[in-house]
Amino acid sequence: MREYLVTFHKIVLDGAGRDRHVLQRRARVRARSDVGAAWEAKAIFCRALGIPDWRLLADTCEVVALAQSTA
């Protein structure tokens, strides 16, 4: 299993009318794939905030595989 960092952002307009990605939450999860990591992190996000759907508080979900240690 690999380790992934999953980041949730809310997109808001700044005073100049440009999109800004505001960090909502990060989760470090272990999964077999990036898709599995996204599902796990979304479930963690919902449980932690007591909401039924992560999209209520975030607009994006980004999954990044972390480097595996060679030790």
* Residue 30 belongs to a domain: yes
24-54 tens-digit pLDDT: 999 999 999 999 999 999 999 999 999 999 9
DSSP one-letter string for 14-68: -TTS-EEEEEEEEEEEEESSHHHHHHHHHHHHHHHHT-S-GGGT-SEEEEEEPPP
Name the amino acid, one letter, at 71. A
* Triad 46, 35, 29: Cα angle to 5°: 60
Q: 8 lies in a domain? A: yes
| Residue 40: burial class (beta carbons within 10 Å; 0-12, 13-18, 19+) | middle
Is 70 inside any structural domain?
no
- Number of domains present in the structure of the chain: 1
For residue 15, what are the domain limits?
A: 2-65
pTM of the shown model = 0.87
Q: Is residue 27 part of a domain?
A: yes
Q: Is the pLDDT of residue 69 over 80?
A: no
Considering the chain, what percentage of its residues have pLDDT values greater than 90? 90
